[in-house]
Structure 1
Amino acid sequence: MIRKIFLFALLFLLFFSSQSVIPQDRIVTELQEGWKFAKGDIPGAYLPDFNDSGWQTVTVPHDWAIEGPFIRESDGNTGKLPWKGEGWYRLNLAIPAESTGKRIYLLFDGVMAFPSVYVNGEKAGGWDYGYNSFYIDITRLARPGKENLIAVHADTRPHDSRWYPGAGIYRKVRMITVNPLHVAIWGTYITTPVIKPHYADVRIATTVNNSEISDREITLKHIIRNQSGNKVAEKETKGRVPATGSRVIETTVTLQNPRRWDIIDPHLYSVETLILTGEKQVDSYMSDFGVRDIRFTPDNGFFLNDRRVQLKGVCLHHDLGALGTAVNRRALERQLEMMKEMGVNAIRSSHNTPAPELPELCDIMGLLLFDEVFDKYDAKADILDTTDFEKFAQRNIHNFIVRDRNHPSVFIWSVGNEIGDVQRNINNGFQRLHTMVNYVRKYDPTRPVTLVCDNESSASLRHFDYYDIHSWNYGRRYKLARQMEPNKSVIISESASTVSTRGFYELPLPEKKNDFTKSLQVSSYDLNSPEWAEIPDDDFMWQQEEPYVAGEFVWTGFDYLGEPTPYSSYWTRANGLSAYDDSRSSYFGIVDLAGIPKDRYYLYRSYWRQDNPTVHILPHWNWENMKGKPVPVFVYTNGDCAELFLNGRSLGVKCKNPKSENSVERFRIMWRDVIWEPGELKAVAFKEGRQTGEAMVRTSGKPVTLQLTPDRSVIRADGSDLSFILVEATDKDGNICPLADNKFEIRISGAGIFAGTDNGNPRELTSFRSSTYPLFNGKAVVIVKSTKSKGEITVELISEGLKPARTKIITQ
């Protein structure tokens, strides 16, 4: 029997791209390779005998629009990419004969948008919200022992968006094969209602499905293991599951001396849930959870494990830059690593149900998650004129909450963002809000729920009576809500919205925050924001003065495709320009779209990470047209003071002013009139009189070579791991050339493939898949993906007039 099971597992490894096998009673197979794709209205594409030989072969997750081409004359708000349309996916899938008599599910993490799923020519089901996960029982239509056709139709035409949403099967697809008696999809609900220093009660509610025609008596066995894999608790309970039905069986397991999940020690436990009938095991299901306590207080903010934690958060959109919206775990992990290094301890999934990889990584990495399900209650959430709102809310909130509720990183649920008619109670806005909030509380009463608001005067209507926490965007708009209901905590759910272009500096400095020029780039002195927003220093100051504020979520951690404020259609038309002049990606990010930090990154790091010295100087020092003229110099440091040197001459010591009502004077050290001359500019920082570090910039000569720096030189040979290679132009002395715009050609050989490239320029319209790409302000990033072959990847960049550059990546 064991040999048969082993051979059965090997058969699946041959048939499918990747899978995880949880004993023989539950097989989970990721359907990654072998898909065929074509765009358009294609009659008969769901039929088994349809000829798809001329279709494109793709790997899922797949974003059909990210390769472009960019459409210059189209709206920059959604990224100038061809995401509107319909497309078909087909997969020929061999299901082993051993699956006869079992239940077979397809689990989709997300399909943009309005997916319809067909199996062997018959419609199996679909879904109506492109950002949500869903599953379909295909047992009736599947043919074990034969080849099966899975066809998926996606249609983004009814979908509306304020940013680039992507298109197609952009998240994972898995086939789950189980016995008729099994734990349901997302079938465990794990809470810790009692937490003491010496024990914790772990309550496990398990939904067990029974597709047999008779009731079944079962034993449910839970085995809890710590992060090292050691068994720390175990318990059995019995129950009866009705025929062709399901039952929730609840039990409490006591865990001795629990190690708490925390942002400084993200310890995870696992529960293995076994279903036994007599002595026979018929299912095994794994769940992760954490033991942690969260609470909000009206006057002192947020507490994690009885310790006040100021939320230092960022909002993240769901695209991954040059990779588009096709989810890649390593790409998302890299974003989170960069945010943690900056000092971030919390993420907001703005404004949609995230890919399941996000809460998984937040659990592992010790990041709190503000889990948000919708933007607006309209076509941006795929709610159309024909949608039954009540039923839509029930099924989508169910999947959203039930999928994510075991994650200890999730500390609050959000049912929407800046919904004007809901805040104003137009078109039964409060009734719709009440519907959403009630369903959240039905499926998880253990966490607070909120609505993210932006219309300050609407607080007079008391929509906050329907939810738990005041969440407000920008400009201290929470003031009225706080005055009217002081017994609720406050979160700045979007802060700053400062805009800048990485490596771009423009003089003179802006007199007003919303002074923008026809350069169509935004100066990286970090003094610009839209009229309705602010600069980072303002939010720092407000939180210093109002300790009841639990923290902030900066808009945004990374630039993202679409929403190119200020250079969107509104600004360009108002200033005599056309759609051709719209940018294609945002300026809001602390990090640019390619994943290269802007200056602002170090401003946040200097305030949020007092544990680690930060010294950063700006701007670059290549200002040949400013000889003899003043150039402002800013230093971002967590020191108190800094001394500035130009070519070895001291330009004096300056210090922050913690009492200033001008926020930039509290958090930046500034020399506004340094007379430019070529050479070396150096800042030395001090804290309490002791030197903590230094930073310098030098005037560079002409570029002579390219410098390649991989973020990782060893990656997994799994067909999906990535290495992000920073490309920089340097002069003969190794100095970075901050204005270089040289084009380069990418050549990749060996055990990897080219995945994309970007340079962080919000106006760049070269395809992310082009093998020839320009530097922007001296830098770019090339992304390389592994194959399933172990070995070496050789990456070589060729640029006319420059020495070629080469690096190697090991895959293992």
Structure 2
Amino acid sequence: MSSSHGRVLSLAAIFALLSVAAEAERMPLVSGWRVHPGAVVGAEAVAFDDGDWRQVTVPHDVSVDDHPDGTPPFDAQAVAGQDSGYLPGMQAWYRRHIVLDAAQAAGVIRLNFEAVYMDADIWLNGQPLARHHDGYTAFTLDLTGKVRPGDNVIAVRVDHADPSSRWYAGTGLIRPVSLDLLDLVHVAPDSVAVTTPVATEERGEVAVRSAVVNRSPRAATVDLLSRVLAADGTVVAQARRALPVAANARVDWDQALRVNRPALWSPDAPNLYTLVQQVRVGGVLRDERRTRFGIRTITVDARQGLRINGQKVVLKGGNIHHDNYMIGAAGLPDADARKVALMKAAGYNAIRSAHNPASQATLDAADALGMLVIDEAFDAWDKPKRAQDYARFFATDWAADLDSLVVSGRNHPSVLFWSIGNEIPEQGTPQGAETGRRLADRVRHLDPTRPVTQAVSIDGPDNARQFAVLDVAGYNYRAHLFGPDHVQFPDRVMLTTESTPQDAFQYWRPVETMPWVIGDFVWTAVDYIGEAGIGWMGYSQDWQKLAPYPWTLAYCGEIDATGRKRPAAYYREVLWKTGIDPISAFVRQPPGTEDLPDRHYFTIQPPHLDWSLDDVHPSWTWPGQEGKPLEVVVYSEFPEVELFLNGRSLGRHPVGVEGEYKTAFQVPYAPGRLVAVGYRDGRPAGRWELRTAGAPAGARLSLDRKTVRANGQDLAYLTVELVDADGAPVYAQDGDRMAAVRVDGAGVLAGLGNGNPRDAASFQSGQRRTFHGRLVLAVRAGTRAGPITIDVDLAGMPTRRVTLDATSP
């Protein structure tokens, strides 16, 4: 997580940056909501009695809520079954009261939903306002002239009919909701577009396009002052212009600003600026809008690859879905930011938001950390993949939803490419190519500065028809085509939009050797709910079946659902030569034993895509294997590796590209210390140690932050790891313990998870068993300041307590 000064950017720093980006005129609607799962008659009415509905904060996912009797939400008979990780979709209602004074009610009021999953109807004071189908796109409703002074009631009905998705989607107000309270003369919030056509060490040219709206009954002469602020608040550029704006009219304005010797934005130096626009009429400030941006340019071609600010960049990428595991699909900003931070810390520099628009919190964190983003629109166009998916609405809604993707993301320097679709059923057909052309043209009209891509999963010659409408060709699982396709299409820029973890070397090697191949995005970087067991037993031969209940997680994440790096993540660090963990060692599951059941649940005949990770483990605790040979796999950036067991050398092996930067030793098991030493120029340069662990004797507790804001949505994550009497981590599952967690004071338990793909227990009960010696809980701040205490009880161990503070926002 490098800043422009080479320092590690902590999670607390990320949260601070996210808070700075908030707009002063925006009122977050976090608390005060009530929810009811299931159909209700008349709940849109103002006088409807919702007193027995449960109070919740938003973002919220009703599908992961426990049942009223306390039983978990997972259901073996869930309609979406394996796709949703055996969690249900449903109809649900939300209601909230908003009290406005007379001045507020007389102004311009906009109600913003960042995402509602899905097929939502919205009412204000009993009157229908709108219907919005897409579960991931942001939309805004104009309440001007429709609200009244005093109490107003918003009612939202979501209708998530299954099967709607190939992965877990969630149900409800899954991303933030807010209210804009604006003056009658203001900058139109969705009109601001900041581009930087020149970005060099000497100068940065900033082009601003925006619109000023006058919704008053009188014409006005509007003065628009635009300033560019550096990170320290210094004004580094400004432009001023006055124009007449007629009553009830809108005027589009272009302004050009120049920043001398700018601090450019890049993955290694994510420097950010803030555009501050002030609208004055008669010298009186009527509106102020802040937009964070970065000064950088993007170019890409088949000869020099991808360049940011003229410097070559290769995409070390990972796909992510939108859920946040223990809190479901609720896109709390801190949860989304944490996922980005985990990827950055593991050496990734790029994210593909699969297969829907990224949240604003994800993009904000990517801006701050220097992560590049492929922001994706759709998983289906006209032809469905599931009976109740977005294809039902594509013909009527695609343009508005594509506009939402681009408008909500275009000022983020992290957004690298726009993706118009993933593995679309009609890809490569004349219809698919024509639809792709229409989508790509619309994206380029809204944002001509970024390339358009699409993830295509077919071979030639049909793929050429689809790639012809794109700027960058996204290949899913087709690295073997990079060479021959380049011969036929020498100007085509290519990247892997999805790859399998165990084939990391085969997908990365073209990036190192073929300039026209600009990156690789593994499926997947972080584990997720749904597509149950795809990373363990995979799909059946006919591609119809995945894991049975109680499998809930995909289990193909190189970072597990709690945030722990799995061995594949350590290998990728070495493959990418990140220097983060330049040497690491793991032990293959011994023959005749199993870490989890059902590895070979389906009988598979190759060729067949395999998303499983190598079955190796960070453990030297294998009781019952004494004297038997175990395979120890070492990943190393160093050219030579020596392995020691209890101080005795087991030999040295060369390591390099010929062996895919890994080597293996056969080691007769004996308890003790297993140490791998990496050598460079004949001298020790790095080491990795595994220790045999005894019985669990205690727990190591680590909190990712000590302070949260009492805003109803800040999160703190507490990691609990079992250790033996000597402090060695306990990994073996026979050492796992039941845990009981209690949160008191100015916060609540948001969710508790262990990363076990077969654990269908409640996220919310506070009861959970560790998995491989670990569990993680998320604590959500309330709306009042004060201390928060977290008590952790592990079977057979004393209670452990940690505290943090919730401060006034």
TM-score computed with the length of structure 1 as normaliser: 0.87
Q: Which residue of 2 aligns with 1:607?
A: 575
Does the CA contact (< 8 Å) of 1:613 and 1:639 recur in 2? no
| C-alpha distance 91-697 of structure 1, shift in aligned 2 (>3 A) | same
Q: Deviations over 1:130-189 (max 9, x none)?
A: 100000001232002x10001111111167101000110011111111122221122211
Quote the residue 1:640 is aligned against.
Answer: 639
Alignment of 1:306-705 (within 5 A): 306-377=310-381, 378=383, 387=393, 389=395, 391-425=396-430, 428-459=431-462, 461-476=464-479, 478-479=481-482, 481-496=485-500, 498=501, 534-566=502-534, 571=539, 580-581=548-549, 583-619=551-587, 620-658=619-657, 660=658, 665-671=659-665, 673-705=666-698
Residue 756 of structure 1 corresponds to 751
Counterpart of 1:37 (choices 11, 35, 41) is: 35
Q: Which residue is equivalent to 1:115? A: 120
Query: How far apart, in 1, do the equivalents of 2:721 and 2:134 lie?
Result: 41
Q: Does structure 2 retain, via aligned residues, the 8 Å contact 1:32–1:60?
A: yes
| Structure 2 letter corresponding to 1:679 | G
The amino acid that maps onto 2:55 is T
Shift of 1:705: 2.4
Could you tell me which of 728, 737, 741 is aligned with 1:735?
728
In the TM superposition, 1:5-84 aligns within 5 A as 27-67=25-65, 68-74=72-78, 75-84=80-89
Alignment of 1:214-363 (within 5 A): 214-363=218-367
| Contact kept? 1:490, 1:548, Cα under 8 Å | yes
Compared CA separation, residues 811 and 383, structure 1 to 2 (3 A)? closer
Distance 1:779 1:22, change over 3 A: closer
CA distance, structure 1, for counterparts of residue 564 and residue 579 of structure 2: 23
Task: Compute the displacement of 1:299 (Å).
Answer: 2.5
Give the direction of change, closer, same or farther, for the CA distance of 1:246–1:484 in structure 2 (3 Å limit): farther
- C-alpha spacing 1:571/1:625, structure 2 compared with 1 (3 Å): farther
Report deviation, 1:244. Answer: 2.9
Residues 65, 81 of structure 1: 8 Å contact kept: no
TM-superposed CA distance for 1:399, in Å, is 1.4
Give 2:190's match in structure 1, choosing from 175, 186, 189.
Answer: 186
**Paired position in structure 1 for 2:801:** 806
Give, in angstroms, the shift of residue 312 of structure 1.
0.8
Please tell me the residue identity of whatever aligns with 2:694.
Answer: G
> Which sections of structure 2, spanning at least 5 residues, go unmatched?
1-17, 66-71, 588-618
SS in 2 for 1:605: helix
Deviation, 1:392, is 1.8
Relative to 1, partners in 2 of residues 1:689 and 1:712: Cα closer, same or farther, differing over 3 Å?
Answer: farther
Aligned in 2, Cα 1:405/1:717: closer, same or farther, shift over 3 Å? same
What is the distance in 2 between the residues matched to 1:575 and 1:292?
43
Which 5+ residue runs of structure 1 have no aligned equivalent?
1-17, 499-533
Alpha-carbon separation, structure 1, partners of 2:553 and 2:477: 21
- Cα deviation for residue 380 of structure 1 reads 6.8
Larger mean Cα displacement after TM superposition, 110-119 or 206-215:
206-215
Q: Does structure 2 retain, via aligned residues, the 8 Å contact 1:320–1:331?
A: yes
Counterpart-to-counterpart distance in 2, 1:422 and 1:575:
19
1:666 partner amino acid? E
The alpha-carbon distance between structure 1 residues 588 and 161, as it changes in their structure 2 partners (threshold 3 A), is: same
Query: What SS does the corresponding residue of 2:700 show, helix, strand or coil?
Result: strand
Query: Secondary structure, in 3 states, of the residue corresponding to 1:625?
Result: coil
Give a deviation string over 1:733-763, Cα, whole Å, max 9, x none.
2222211222111123333321211111111
Over the matched positions of the two proteins, sequence identity in percent amounts to 30
CA change 1:578–1:296 in 2 (3 A) is closer
**Contact persistence 1:222–1:273 (CA under 8 A):** yes
CA offsets 1:665-711 (integer angstroms, 9 cap, x no match):
2211211x211112221111122322122121122222222332223
Say whether the 8 Å CA contact 1:83–1:165 is kept in structure 2: no
Corresponding residue for residue 13 of structure 1: none
CA separation in 1, counterparts of 2:729 and 2:700?
9
Matches within 5 A, 1:93-104: 93-104=98-109
In 1, are the aligned partners of 2:33 and 2:95 still within 8 Å (CA)?
Answer: yes
C-alpha separation in 2, matches of 1:745 and 1:142: 46
- Show the counterpart of 1:775: 770
CA contact (8 A) 1:76 1:585 kept: no
* Residue 782 (structure 2) aligned to one of 787, 801, 811: 787
**Among candidates 163, 170, 180, match of residue 167 of structure 2:** 163
Question: What's the secondary structure of 2:510's corresponding residue?
Answer: helix
Change (3 A) 1:490 1:250: same
Please say if residues 82 and 548 of structure 2, whose CA atoms lie closer than 8 Å, have aligned partners that are also in contact. Answer: no
Q: Assess if the C-alpha contact under 8 Å between 1:704 and 1:803 holds in 2.
A: no
User: Alpha-carbon deviations, 1:272-304, whole Å to 9, x = none?
Assistant: 112222322222111111111111120232111
- 2:598 maps to which residue? none
Q: Which letter maps to 2:624?
A: N
2:506 counterpart SS class: helix
Answer whether contact 1:708 1:806 (CA < 8 A) is retained.
Answer: no
Once the two structures are superposed, residues 54-80 of structure 1 have per-residue CA deviations (whole angstroms, 9 ceiling, x without a partner) of 111111111001134211344543333
Worse overlay, 368-377 or 746-755: 746-755
8 Å contact from structure 1 (residues 558, 589) kept in 2: yes
Cα 1:85–1:485 change in 2 (3 A) is same
* SS in structure 2 of the partner of residue 354 of structure 1: coil
Q: Secondary structure at the residue paired with 1:456?
A: coil
Q: In 2 relative to 1, CA 706–19 (structure 1 residues): closer, same or farther, beyond 3 Å?
A: closer
**What is the letter of the counterpart of residue 620 of structure 2?**
W
Q: Compute the RMSD of aligned alpha carbons.
A: 2.6
Relative distance call for 1:460 and 1:280 in structure 2 (3 A) is closer
Quick one: distance in 1 between partners of 2:567 and 2:547?
29
Distance across 2 between alignment mates of 1:349 and 1:59: 25
- CA contact under 8 A between 1:757 and 1:782: conserved in structure 2? yes
Q: Give the Å deviation of 1:357.
A: 1.1
Amino acid at match of 2:794: S
Q: Choose 32-41 or 254-263, whichever is displaced more.
A: 254-263
